[in-house]
Structure 1
């Protein structure tokens, strides 16, 4: 795993159409799931009740909230690409997000990213990035989709 450093719109455009790389693995713990449940007020038993899931859930263990896995995007993205010389970065859009596979407690996930397009909006870079959250030893990714960031370079 090595990250790419991008310092300008012109440098970003050079990566258009290319896979940018993969992040390191991140383990999703029960503690992280519990904190996310508290922060979002989503206390559904499939995320929190380790005993009940053993008998009533098809997963056999607690699972991470789908939106928790999405919330990891910035953390994992920053392991792949370092964008410098910014005034501001804005999360603009999530397109075609599809949850494919639940992430079990203590599951390890990593992000794979490919830069689809870059548009120059009067000096603001609109970057559309194809992402897949891979589960270690999993057959399917936790999710796939396209995210869009707006980069306001200096």
Structure 2
């Protein structure tokens, strides 16, 4: 792992963000949303986001490369959801966080989402991109021109 990277892996960062959301829900009950439909929608987003993460893990396994950040990839994956986003795992994690906000039914936890995105961008994605640029060169540069970082 390069020295300037974080030691917190993205799934753990997701759990920390969810814990922060519960804390904000208790400490900053700015606006409470009592609509049951929104809470159900929140749970649906959580399940869908986690399902996408699981599907991507299987996709990486089928492609014969690692899903672990900061490890050398044996292959550049540009198919499946990677046709639409260079980071669909992190997009699905944000979907989970939006689901948590809706499931909790309050606005305070929203504050955790931009913090999570900023952390993932700075401490994970930029490092991963540098590693992929070094490993795959022009192929990765062409992929970056075709596909956005997030969506």
Per the normalisation by structure 1, the TM-score is 0.26
In terms of fraction of residues, the more strand-rich structure is 1
In terms of fraction of residues, the more helix-rich structure is 2
